[in-house]
Amino acid sequence: MAVIHHTTMNPGKTALLAGWLPTQPWYAGSGSAPELHRVGGFRLDDPQGEVGIEFMVVTDTSGVRPVTYHVPLGYRGAPLDGGGPALVGTSEHGVLGTRWIYDGAHDPVVAAQLLALLQGRAEPQAQGESGVPDHSVTWALGSGPEGGAFAAAEGTPSVVGQTAEATVLGVPGVPGLVVEVTRVLRAGDRTGEAVRGTVTAGWRAPGGGRSRGPFVVLRSTGA
């Protein structure tokens, strides 16, 4: 179980993301500096207790219309070998010292637990509390010829592509499926003949209220 320390981080998470987000291919900003607000998210536990795993949601209000982003993050006590291109930044944690923070889609521990979440083997945890499950995060798997192979898949998904709004990961041993990590969040369900599963969660909508939408989509490629 991850222990949540209510302490300082310098620089803070939103400050790090404000510098990193505009460098990403899915960033939808208009050119001005992002104005980020944390509006939701959840955590997963690393079975080895070494890597902090957070699925953060931030809304950028710098443009004409707010844009909400989903950013999975891996927090490490030492640099990740070969992880330089995925480094969001470093921060001084008030209890744990220097933390190296990586884009979770490229962090093998985060990606492996994301697979476990889709398979129902990992339980979402509250973003700011220790040992408190977040039952608002739901997952669902549909039917399809790849279902059995996906349920038995093990290992670490790895990035195989990028769209305008998602990072695409391959499923180990299951060539007919990909995991799409949604980057630009939109409210509503994700349906379609190729959709084989989703992880859905909520966030605070601009102007108040709550929105829900797919953070992760399991999709058939037809291969």
How far apart are alpha carbons 95 and 72 in whole angstroms? 22
Helices (H), the chain: 13-20, 108-118, 147-152
Measured CA to CA, the distance from residue 136 to residue 141 in angstroms comes to 17
The structural domains of the chain, with segments of one domain joined by +, span 9-220
pLDDT tens digits for range 131-190: 899 999 998 887 666 777 888 888 899 999 999 999 999 999 888 899 999 999 999 877
Q: What is this structure's pTM?
A: 0.92
Backbone angles phi, psi at 130, to 5 degrees: -85, 130
- Identify the CA nearest to 10 among candidates 92, 76, 70, 77: 92
pLDDT tens per residue across all 223 residues of the chain = 566 656 677 788 999 999 999 999 999 987 778 999 999 999 999 999 999 999 999 999 998 899 999 999 999 999 999 999 999 999 987 677 799 999 999 999 999 999 999 999 999 999 878 789 999 999 888 766 677 788 888 889 999 999 999 999 999 988 889 999 999 999 987 777 788 889 999 999 988 899 999 999 999 887 5
